Amino acid sequence: MGVKQILMVLPEIDWIEDEGLKGAVLRTYERALKEGGWAPEDMARMPFTLAKETDISYADHVRAVTRIARAVYDVFKDIFGNRVPLRRDVLVAGALLHDVGKLVEVEQEGDNFRKSAGGKVLRHPFSGVALAAAEGVPAEVLHIIAVHSKEGDPYPRTPEGAIVHHADFTTFDTIPG
């Protein structure tokens, strides 16, 4: 599957400076797209959520969350300096992968998108961790996938985990539908 096509749909993957981490993120996308039966371009047309009537795509959502997280990083650096240390690559990789499990949680039937059989019993934070772990994504990034959603509420989130969680809900709670 084409790494080039994945980068065209999610160009922010190139923001990851660590080549090893970038490779693991790309391989996780290859694995998830293959398991879900999607082409990279499908990420730009599948809805990011089944919980609202929206034409915001998976790619739009993930790119927005990643850009919000990056903007938070820049503000923190400017205003707080090193008083709130953040790992930029961990933050960006976690934002890019937080919903990767949706590629196996959702399936298409005709023009309709619906929960897959697996998605009915295993929500995307769990399948996302499994996909990313299989490609060697490190624990601090798996953590962000695991705790980005409501399932993560009882657990202490790392600063990067908290930023992705709030960036995700910033884009979810505000959209109509």
As given in the structure block, the two tokens for residue 160 are 């990067």
CB of 61 to Fe ion, least distance (A): 9
Nearest distance in Å: CB 86, Fe ion: 21
Give the binding range for Fe ion (CB under 5 A) out of 22-30, 93-101, 113-121, 129-137.
93-101
Q: Which residue is nearest to Fe ion (CB)?
A: 99
CB of residue 113 to Fe ion, shortest distance in Å: 15
Distance CA 153, CA 115 (A): 23
Smallest distance, Å, CB 82 to Fe ion? 30
Restricted to residues 41-60, the positions that interact with Fe ion (CB under 5 A) are none
Residue number, 89 or 99, with CB nearest to Fe ion: 99
Restricted to residues 108-167, the positions that interact with Fe ion (CB under 5 A) are 149
Locate 50 and state its tokens: 């089944």
In a 3-state reduction of DSSP, which class is residue 57? strand
Applying the rule CB under 5 A, the residues between 94 and 113 that interact with Fe ion are: 99
- What residues form DSSP beta bridges with 37? none
114 SS3 class: strand
Name the residue nearer to Fe ion (CB basis): 3 or 162: 162
CA distances from 93 to 38, 50, 51, 124, 164 (A): 21, 24, 25, 16, 10
- Min dist CB 124 to Fe ion, Å, is 6
How is residue 7 written in tokens?
A: 């980068």
Q: Where are the alpha helices (DSSP H) in 47-147?
A: 58-80, 88-97, 102-105, 117-121, 124-134, 139-147
Contact positions vs Fe ion (CB under 5 A)? 99, 149
